[in-house]
Structures are given as structure tokens and as C-alpha cells.
Structure 1
Amino acid sequence: MKFKYVVLGMLYFVQGIPYGLQSGLLPIYFRTLGLSFTKISLAKVLYTPWILKVMWAPLVDQYFTKKTWLMLTMWGLVLACLACSLMTPEANFLPVAAILLLMNVFVSIQDIAADGVAIRLLGQDEVGYGNTVQVVAYKLGSVLAGGGLLTFLHRLGWGSLFVYLAAMYTLAIVVTWNSDLRLRRSYLSQDRCVRDRTFNPWHILQELLQVPDTLWTAGFVLIYKLGEQGSISMFPLFLLERDFSAQKLGFWNGIVAMIFSIVGSSLGGHLISKQSPPLPTLKALLALRACCLVFQILLMVAYKDKEPASEVAAVLSICVQHFIAGLITTLTFSMMMYCTQKAKESVQATHYSFLATLEVLGKLVFSTLSGSLVDWLGFTRAFGVFFSLSFASIVYLLPVRS
């Protein structure tokens, strides 16, 4: 493996830690402390910086080097972890929430800088493998923080947990510093070029939309996950309602399914590196995903509680669904990077952040509404809506040939 893949993998790995911490570990930990569901639900507000990151992306593009932004944000994460280690959420809930929000600000800025580095480092024939590293490393960091640390939390304790995370970020700082020195000619010299410094939002938006294929790519990333997000989040809850034990769900949906997702992401990078353009493969995968949703709808109708055949079919559908989702995600992120590489270097990080923000927005908005849709229509009808939304992305791609 090339050294730059190792560097990118490390950067995206540490980015995945706060997400796994806040989506996997903290809700369960807060509930064991007796915190109300109202306080736990406020955790969704902590993801706001990921939606707003396009607003400060021009700063990362136009001031300082990408190395400077990476170092500053990781030092900020070290200090935030140390501050959290001195507090307890049961006694200092709002201060802890504020620090976690600040961690998301740091990570979103770090993501912009890391994306800018990846766009400049990766050649056309390396985008597939580079995005595989990005997606897989991020998921591994998320799994480590969400599942791995949760397993040992009762032994480590809240304070020690964040001290270890601070040590991990300190190690990442050392690796980043030395790696930047070795890769200086690849991208750091380009960061020092003279740029037009403008922060007129309308001018920046016009410049982004003038990049070829931006409007089409923006439309696709906004809708391609809509139906998938609803089914991935709601199908495990359907099984929970049908006497599928929480322990089984934790193992199959939390560990095994994530392994399938990582394998799918890895295979997606291999496919896109061997086949160009990626659209034919993406069309086939979207159609296969729609078939998987049809299978889940039929399974809901025929599901019988505590019957081994039903449970095996449910687990199989979850694993296949995550495998296909990993493939589609890597292919989509690769297309986003191909599109961004057509932009001027002075706006590449901003352009990619714009597309990534739309991708997060599409997933986040619908995932918050899917539960209400199930309450209103029931599982089977709600999944019919998920299927319709998933089919919309196929229709969007059909007329496109390149």
C-alpha cells in the first residue's frame, strides 16, 4: 500500500471517532445514568457543524495550509477530550454537550482539510482506492468508538476514556506532522499559491455551480440515500417489535452488518479502479438495492415470531443491505471526487464540502422523519415509501450515459 493511503487512512480514522462516540456510545451511557430521553435526543443537535461546514470551507481553502488546519483541529480535539475527562455528564450535562459540539466543529474543519489533501494527492486511477480508504477508515474509527469503547467503558470510566482518546489524537498529530513533511511537494507547496480571497456567498456559490457536472452530482447525492436510510434505521426496530432480542440485534446489526458494509466499501473501491466510468455499476447496484427492499417488505408480511427461517431471512437481508450500501457509498464518493477535481485548486475543498454537505443533509433529514412515517403508516406501508424513494435514484440515473 502506498504511503499516502496510510496517511489518508489515519486522518479519516480519527475523524470517525467522534461520530461513533456520539451515535453509539453516548446514548447508551447517558441512559444507564438515568438521563431523560429528551436530553439524549438533543445529541442530534451536535451534528449541526457537519451541515454548516460548507460555510467555513472557503477559510480552509484560502487561508493557511492544509497541514496547519489539520494540526490546529487535532490539537483542539486533544484539549476538548482533556476537558471532557474532567467532567461527568450526569453533573455537567450542558458543558459536556457544548464540548462535544465543539469537537464536531473541529472534526468538520479537519474533514475539509483532509478532503482537500485527498483531492490533490489522488490521481484519476487512484480515486477508487483512495475513497475505499476514506470510507473504511472512517467506519473503523466509528466502530472503535461506538462499540469497542462501549465494551470497556465500565472498566475505563468516563475520565480515563477521554484521556485515552486525547492520547490517540496526540499520536495522530505526530504522524500527521511527519507525513506532511514527506508529502510536502505533493500538496503543501500548492497551498501557498496566490488565491483570490473572497467571502461573498453568492460569488462562491456561482463559482461552485460553474464546475462541470456539479448540479447533476448535487442532485444525486441529495436523494440517493433517502429510501436506504429509512430501511436501515427502521428494519431493526421492526425486528425488535417482533421479539427479536436486543442481544441478537446488537451482534448481527451492530457488528456483522458493519463488517459487510466495510467489505462492500472495499469492493467498491476495487471496482471503480478497474472500471471507468462507474455509472453502469452504480445503476446495477441501485436496482439490486430496490430488490432488497422488496424482499424486506415481503418478509414483513410473512414474518413469524421466533421462527428460525424468518430470523435467518431477516439477518440475511440486513447483511446484504449493508453490503450493497457500502458499495454504493464508495462509488458515489468517488464520483463526487471526480467532479471536484474539475474545479480550480483554490475552491476544491469548498466544492467537495458543498457536495458532502448535501449528502449528509439528505441522510439526516429523512432519518429524522422515518420514525414518524412508521408511526403514521405502519412498517409495511412506510417501507413502500422507502422503496419509492429508492427507485427515484434509479430514474435519476437512467438517462445518463457518462
Structure 2
Amino acid sequence: MPFGFQSTALPVYLRTQGVSLKVIGFLGVLALPWMLKALWAPLVDRYGSARIGHRKSWILPMQAGLVVTCAIAAFVVERGALPVLLGLIFLMNLFAATQDIAVDGFAVKLLEPQELGWGNTAQVVGYKLGMLTGGGLLVWASARVGWRGLFLGMALLSLGVFGVVAAAREPERTGEAQARPSLREIIERLVAAAKLPGTGWLLLFIGTYKLGESMVDVLFKPFLIDAGLTPAQIGLWVGTWGTVASVLGSVAGGALASRMPLLGALALTALLRVFPLGGEWLLAVRGPTEAGVIAVTVAENFFGGALTTAMFAFMMSRVDRRIGATHYTLLASVEVLGKAPGGPLAGLLASDAGWSYADVFVLGTILSVAFVVLLLPLRQRTAHPPRPASPLV
């Protein structure tokens, strides 16, 4: 939910406040916790993996932190204290990213290979629903309740989730070992995984699949604002309908990942994702219309959601389950770091280099085409053995 606000709603809010495109392009720095969370992921493995149920000891405090920061932001947003607001959003991302380590470690231990497609569908759909709420529904409602009401809504929803998690019991696997791995053991296993054949291509693959898309996405909403659309329209068309399409695409991606080889599912969804990116370039050339904005938004989010689920399932299939939280978090951090330069690069090209929106959008589309070309060599070079059948052997 905080990430949905940052990626969808915050650019709209800042543009309505007259903030420059250069500053908006650098908003990705608020997502640093998602990029760097691998640094403290070993602590989650060390102190949260003796049994699956211990993940709550990380999840609940992080959720409580979300409640507090959202509540404080509600009293800051309308006072013009922009640095304080951005700092609070950074803290929201820190709490959410740390919580995500524990949730992913739980999923790695729990899911069997044949469950990766649908298991990652559940994870991706869950986070998309949070983005739908923070970046779509609440922004749409902000026309009535204001930005303060938006943050109060986020705080109340986070409090509700805290209650659900506190009451839930997490399943445990029969015969699960109780010994906690030491930090040294975690690092040694991670180093061994890094030495497997094809690791370099794997990291390059994960790090490039969203770069072009992120360049387009970071400027698409400011483009719509400058074209005369209202925040309420953008919140409904892009933030809400787009996220609904993304959720449906995530389900479709999980189905593909369960029925065909994971790299085949990635190739298909990455290829289809290119077409709506080209559609956004056409909107920038010809001018946006209601039907055009809705069509390309729905298509891009649908195929992008399918691609994300297929990629996350593929990443989880490459993880050593004995150090699931750390290993998967490292791959997820590479995924975030890989697309991070897209926003600043797009902002600099549009503001300092004098590129038009159309110029930036066509470059993002070309980079997305280039990613598809990387699939073929990756298919040849990724030679990792399957992850251990038992989570703790």
C-alpha cells in the first residue's frame, strides 16, 4: 500500500503542487529500503527461521510501524512540510520492505515447486491489492476526503491487517528442524549459490526486465496531468482500473507459470508487454483520449502483471530454501535496483536534455524489446540445479 501511494499517487500530488519533473524522476530514492533490504535479510533468517511461526515476530512490529507513520503523515500532508512527508514515506517503505523479507521467507519454505505459479499469484495479487488501495481507490476518494483522509484510510487499513495477522496461526511443516542457522552459515550458503553456473546471466536478466517499463511509467502520469487530465481521472483510470487489470494479469501469469516452462512464460508475457508501451508512445504523439488512456493502461498493467508473477515464480525456483529469506530477498533487491535508474533517467531526459514525452516513451519501448532478446541466451546459460526438495536439508 505505501509503495502504491509512492508510485502512483505521489507523482500526481507533487505535480499538482508544482514540483518539477526532475524531482519527480528521483522519487525512486524513497524505495531504497526495497533495494537494500538484502543487507538485513540474514537477520530475519537468523532470528525468524527456526520455525515458520516465528515470522510473526518480524511481521507484526513492521505492520505497527506502518500504522504509526501513515497516521502521522495524515497530519503533515496538508501543512506543506514536504521533506517531512517524504521522510515518512521512506519509513513506510522501510517497514514494508522488512516485513516483505519475512513473508517471502515464509513462502519459500512453504511452497513446493509445483505450487510456485499459484503461490506467487497469491503474493503478487496481495501486493497489487495494496497498490490498488494506496494508489487508486484512496486517490480517487481524495477528491472528497482530501489527502489527509487518504493517509488516515491507509492507517486504519494497516491497523486492520495487524489484527488479522495477530489472530492468524501459521502452518508448520512436519519434522521441521528447530535449529537456527548462524549468520556465518547463511553467508556461506549465499556465496555457494552465487558461484553456480549462470548466476551472472540470472542477475542481469532479473535486473533488466522492468527498466524500459519504469522509464515510461514514471512520466506517464505527469504526462496526463500536463495534458489536462484531473487527479481524480488518473486515480480512477490508471490507479484503479489499471491495478485491477494488473491483478487479473497476475492471475493469468500464475496460470501460465503453472502450465508451461517458466522461461517460456516469461518470454511470452515480456513480448506482449511491449505493445501497450508502444501505445503510450502513440498517445504522446497524437494526444491522449479517454478511450486511448484506458486501453493502453489496462493492456500494459495486464501484461505487466502477468510478467511480474512469472518472474517472481522463476526467481523463487532459483532459491536455496535453507536460506530462503536472504536468497530470495537478494534476487528481489536486484529486481528493484535494476529498474531504479529508469525514473531518474527519464526525468533527466525530459527536463535537462529537452526530450519530449514521446521521445522518452519510445526509448523505454526499445529497451523492453531488448530485454526479450536476452531471453534466448539466458535459456542457454542458466544452468542452476533445482532447489532442495526439503527446506532444511
**Equivalent position SS for 1:198:** helix
Q: Structure 2: how far apart are the matches of 1:370 and 1:318?
A: 19
The corresponding residue for 1:262 is 247
The reply on whether 1:220 has 2:205 as its aligned counterpart is: yes
Match of 1:8 in 2: none
Any unmatched runs of 5+ in structure 1?
1-16
Structure 2 residue corresponding to 1:198, chosen from 167, 170, 184: 184
Counterparts of 2:149 and 2:219, CA distance in 1: 34
TM-score, reference length from structure 2: 0.80
1:210 aligns with 2:182: no
* Structure 1: distance between partners of 2:102 and 2:190: 19
1:374-385 to structure 2, matched below 5 A, reads 374=350, 375-385=353-363
Partner residue in 1 for 2:303: 324
Q: Is the CA contact 2:139–2:235 (under 8 Å) kept in the aligned structure 1? A: no
Give the deviation of 1:240 after TM superposition. 5.8
1:132 equivalent to 2:108? Answer: no
C-alpha separation between the residues in 2 aligned to 1:19 and 1:382?
23
Q: Verify the 8 A CA contact 1:20 1:146 in the aligned structure 2.
A: yes
Q: Per-residue displacement from partner, 1:163-221 (whole Å, max 9, x unpaired)? A: 55444333323322332x341x239955x4231223997x5762441356543322111
Number of the residue aligned with 2:67 = 78
Is the aligned partner of 1:107 residue 2:96? yes
Change (3 A) 1:86 1:230: closer
Aligned 1:151-162 pairs, distance under 5 A: 151-153=140-142, 156=145, 162=151
Whether contact under 8 Å (1:30, 1:40) holds in the other structure is no
Quote how far apart the aligned CAs of 1:151 are: 3.8
Call closer, same or farther: CA 1:59–1:151 in 2, change over 3 Å.
same
The C-alpha deviation readout for 1:200-255, integer Å capped at 9, x for no partner, is 97x57624413565433221110111222223344555566666676655443333
Contact 1:35/1:90 (8 A) holds in 2:
no
| Equivalent residue for 2:266, pick from 282, 302, 322 | 282
Question: Partners of 1:236 and 1:157 in 2: how far apart?
Answer: 19
Out of 218-227 and 156-165, give the one that drifted further: 156-165
Of 368-377 and 117-126, the range deviating more from structure 2: 368-377
Contact 2:111 2:119 in 1 (8 A): yes
CA distance change for structure 1 residues 57 and 382 in 2, over 3 Å: closer, same or farther?
A: same
Equivalent-residue separation in structure 1 for 2:223 and 2:74 (angstroms)? 37
* Separation (CA, whole Å) in 2 of partners of 1:106 and 1:246: 28
TM-score, normalised via structure 1 length = 0.78
Measured in 2, the distance between the counterparts of 1:249 and 1:87 equals 23
Return closer, same or farther for 1:231/1:194 CA change in 2, 3 Å cut-off: closer
Alpha-carbon distance in 2 for matches of 1:141, 1:194: 32
Where does residue 186 of structure 1 map in the other structure? 173
Q: After TM superposition, list the pairs within 5 Å mapping 1:21-36 onto structure 2.
A: 21-26=5-10, 28=12
| 1:365-391 CA distance string (max 9 Å, x none) | 112211333454434444443233112
Shift of the alpha carbon at 1:329? 1.0
Q: Percent identity?
A: 34
The count of residues paired between Structure 1 and Structure 2 equals 372
Sort the Cα spacing of 1:378 and 1:36 in 2 relative to 1 into closer, same or farther, 3 A: closer
Distance 2:280 2:71 in 1: 45
RMSD: 3.6
Which residue does 1:364 correspond to in 2? 340
The aligned residue for residue 371 of structure 2 is: 393
Contact map agreement 1:89 1:96 (CA 8 A) in 2: no
- Residues 296, 200 of structure 1: CA spacing in aligned structure 2 closer, same or farther, 3 A cutoff? closer
